[in-house]
Amino acid sequence: MSMQAISRQVGIWTPPGQRPSAGALGLAAMAGALGGARALARWQAEHPEAAAGYAHGERHDLWWEFDLSASFKWQAHVSRLNPLYGQQRLLKLARLFALTDLLGRPVESLTPGEQARANLAVALLPQPDLLVWEEPFRTMPGREWMQLCRIVRRLCRTEGLTVIMVAALKEETQHERQHETWADHLRSGRRPGVAGRPTPATGALWA
């Protein structure tokens, strides 16, 4: 059986008017070579003071057998958030990501798209300065991921968030070819709500 080589497209979203920091560009370059999770682990070992988060569009770290609110509460606990702030942040993100009515439901009962939205919201609970978002739109139909794009760009604008998106490109199935099309549009900025310009240092995008 032949092995399929994997290449990755990396995109960076920054707050309006800001260029990516040297740290973000370095992490983006590593993510292109290693994948988002491995790159972030290595980068955080070198930058232990950095406030960074991670979310995967297809695989999540939610507590499968409990209701959704338990995953938020656990994230608040491990992030050592002030209880009042953690609750306020939970409610804000639940409204923003249309999760308010889902907080009392078991994670296993949520659709893949709802799980992906929830996983992203949980990763953002500690209000990181930087988020690595791997395979961001893998489980979502076009209309839903465009809505999610707008939410994430809003957080870049209002919270100073920098987002590094990592997408693996493989020509094996139609689904993956569609994913490659997303990366091509991200690179060119042709898809509505997404803009990018190439950065010579890494070949990543910033917008």
DSSP of 47-88: -TT--EEEEESSS--S-TTSBHHHHHHHHHHHTT--HHHHHH
Whether 76 is covered by a domain: the verdict is: yes
Tell whether 100 and 152 lie within a shared domain.
Answer: no
> Is residue 117 classed exposed, middle or buried when 0-12, 13-18 and 19+ CB atoms within 10 A define those classes?
buried
Q: Which amino acid is at 13?
A: W
What range does the domain containing 157 cover?
1-51+128-207
Tell whether 204 and 146 lie within a shared domain.
Answer: yes
Tell whether 207 and 152 lie within a shared domain.
Answer: yes
Tell whether 113 and 173 lie within a shared domain.
Answer: no
- Count structural domains, the chain: 2
pLDDT tens digits in sequence order for the chain, 207 residues long: 333 445 788 989 999 999 999 999 999 999 999 999 999 999 999 999 999 999 998 888 899 889 999 999 999 999 999 999 999 999 999 999 999 999 999 999 999 889 989 999 999 999 999 999 998 877 677 778 888 888 999 999 999 999 999 988 654 433 444 444 444 444 443 333 333 333 333 333 433
The Cα 141–Cα 64 span in angstroms is 23
**Strand segments (E) across 143-193:** 162-169
Tell whether 156 and 174 lie within a shared domain.
Answer: yes
Whether 57 is covered by a domain: the verdict is: no
Tell whether 103 and 145 lie within a shared domain.
Answer: no
Whether 192 is covered by a domain: the verdict is: yes
Phi, psi dihedral angles at 104 (to 5 degrees): -90, 0
Write the CB contacts of 14 (distance below 8 Å, at least 6 apart in sequence).
20, 24, 156, 162, 206, 207
Tell whether 38 and 136 lie within a shared domain.
Answer: yes
